[in-house]
Amino acid sequence: MNSTARDVKRIDKVSLESFSAALLVAGGFRPEDARKTAELLVWANLRGAESHGVLRIPRYIEMAGHGAINTTAQPVFTRTFGAIATLDADRAPGAVGMQKAIDKAVELAGTHGIGLCSAIRITHAGAIGYFAEKIAERGMIGIAMTASKPLMIYHGARVEGVSTNPLAIAAPTRGRPLILDMSTAAVALGKIMAAKDAGGSIPADWGVDAAGNATTDPSKVSAVLPMSGPKGSGLSLMIEVLSSVLGGNPLISVALGEKRDAGFNGLVIAINPGVIGDQEHFIDEVEQLARAIKALPPAAGVDDVLLPGERGFAIADARRETGIPLSAGTVKRLAAEAQKYHLDVPSVLT
């Protein structure tokens, strides 16, 4: 990206969460829903995932304005059977629907050893590693995935046929959990948005233009490419089966066959290690596994062998000290939203 240090503004976590929540409340979100959404977005910024951070706020407010996000939603559990529950989120903000799903999955796992919650009709849920981490913080293995309309090329096709459906898995330790948080695309769509905000270019293998040709201009991207070709598009398709078809709210077939957007869905699984074996022994073994991987000799040009989530934690530690950087484009768009609602912009961003 071509943005310079001069273009970047830095703000502390608490101030950014407060400003973000205020913008969302002004845009129609209920205060508690705005707080949960702001926390999710800033979590992403703190860990270096600008693509899923506060740059999303103007779009969330726009979605709330035309009803794509239901700011008065009343999520309800429509079915519970043993360790399985189905939540109809009623198009609630993604952070709200997914939080309700993880709470239910953890509750069920406490009773049955495993809990699965299908969360249909959520809205964009941001960086889903946040939700997997929340489960790991309660001493359980957390698995989260979400699905949406076609945004990504299906391998072998000229046009988009599946979504960038992400998958996150977190395992607890006595310290920071292991967190795998990945998109099934070569890159998350939000990273292309971030490149556009920063006024930069993108690698040619990130996306294609309307004619299906590779492009380095983020403003011309029509669809993103899958991670590892058939592996990425195949995994995305199966997440659609688990998150959407299983829950009774298919997205891809409806979008391709009926040209209709049926929204977003999610799936959360919590696994209680204590019902399979000894909880403390499990934690010991996860930590032993982590130490074994960290002890591997680094490849040429690599300073350190990193565990899943380790890079994000390191960035978060640094940003708690120096502030969270926001690109000029993101600051401009947030300031424009604040002006629209007569809100003060934090002085560090002006």
Enter the DSSP assignment of 206.
S
Whether the CB-CB separation of 187 and 180 falls below 8 Å is answered with no
Q: Note every long-range contact of 102-106, with CB atoms under 8 Å and residues 24 or more positions apart, other chains counting.
A: 102/131, 102/134, 102/135, 102/142, 102/144, 102/268, 102/270, 104/77, 104/268, 105/135, 105/268, 105/269, 105/270, 106/135, 106/138, 106/140, 106/270
Residues facing residue 122 across a β-bridge: 264
Whether the CB-CB separation of 36 and 130 falls below 8 Å is answered with no
Residues in the chain: 350
Q: Does residue 124 carry a catalytic annotation?
A: yes
Whether the CB-CB separation of 144 and 267 falls below 8 Å is answered with yes
Single out the catalytic residue among 52, 124, 281, 342: 124
Identify residue 304 by its one-letter amino acid code: D
Name the residues annotated as catalytic.
124
